[in-house]
Amino acid sequence: MKEVQDFYFKKAKKEGYPARSVYKLEEAQQKYRLLKKGGRVLDLGCHPGSWSLYAAKTVGTQGLVVSLDLQPTKGGGKKGMAPIHWLHGDITDEEMLARVRAFAPAFDAVVSDMAPRTTGNKWADQQQSLALARRSLAVAEQFLVAGGVFYCKVFQGEDVDAFVAEVRARFQTARVVKPKSSRPESREVFVLGMGYGV
C-alpha cells in the first residue's frame, strides 16, 4: 500500500504538481473527458494548486481557471496553459461569489476537492464534508452553463446517497467515482454530474 502512495507522490513531484491529489482529477479526465479545450473551470478548495494547474494545462491558452481556497495559493503562468486567477477566501461566504463572477459569469466545469479540517469524529467530519459538497453544488448551479460538468469530493456515509440523488436530479448523468489514486482506506469518493440541466 505504502508503495502505491509513494508512487503517486513521486509521480506528482516529477511532473511538477504540488500534491498527489492531481491524479484524482486526471483519472476522471482520462475516463470521462470532463474538461474541454478552451473551457472555463471553477476550482473550489484549490490549495496547493494541483487540480488548477492540471485544468489550466488541459483547457489550454483559450481557457480560463478561477480557483479559490481558505489558504492563499499561487502558481501557473506557464506557456500553453490557461491563466489561473487565485482567490483567497471561504466559499460559504456569499461575497466570494461576486469575486468569482468578476472573472467569468459562467463556467463549463465546477470541480471541488474541498475537505473539512478533520476532527477524528467520523460522523461530524462526514457531515462537514457533505455540507461543503452541497455548497459546491449550489455554487455550480449559479455558474454552470447548460451541459456543464460537476466533479465533487464527499466523504462516504449517511446522506451521501441523497446527495448523489440531488446531483442526478440536476444533471443528465450522475455517478460515484473512486479513483485508483485515492487511498482505498480513505472514505472520500467523487460525485460526477455531466450535462447540467439537459
Ligand X SMILES: C[S@@+](CC[C@H](N)C(=O)[O-])C[C@H]1O[C@@H](n2cnc3c(N)ncnc32)[C@H](O)[C@@H]1O
CB of 146 to ligand X, least distance (A): 26
Tell me how crowded residue 76 is: count the other CB atoms within 10 A of its CB.
Answer: 19
Q: Among residues 36, 37, 153, 180, which one is catalytic?
A: 153
Nearer to ligand X, 113 or 125 (CB): 113
For 47-74, the DSSP string reads: TT-HHHHHHHHHH-TT-EEEEEESS---
Please pick, from the candidates 50, 58, 136, 181, the single residue that binds ligand X as defined by CB under 6 A: 50
Q: Cell digits for 139?
A: 455554487
Query: Is residue 48 involved in binding ligand X (CB under 6 A)?
Result: yes
Give the strand pairing for 40-44 and 107-112.
Answer: parallel
37 is catalytic: no
Please pick, from the candidates 8, 23, 51, 190, the single residue that binds ligand X as defined by CB under 6 A: 51
Torsion of CA 86, 112, 148, 194, to 10 degrees: 160
Query: Is residue 181 involved in binding ligand X (CB under 6 A)?
Result: no
String of contacts with ligand X for each residue 59-98, x by CB under 6 A = ---------xxxx------------------xxx------
Give the strand pairing for 171-177 and 144-155.
Answer: unpaired
Torsion of CA 102, 106, 108, 112, to 10 degrees: 60
Phi and psi of 66, rounded to 5°? -120, 130
The residue whose Cβ lies closest to ligand X is: 45
Nearer to ligand X, 109 or 114 (CB): 114
Nearer to ligand X, 28 or 132 (CB): 132
* Contact set with ligand X (CB under 6 A): 19, 21-22, 45-51, 68-71, 90-92, 113-115, 132
Active site members: 153
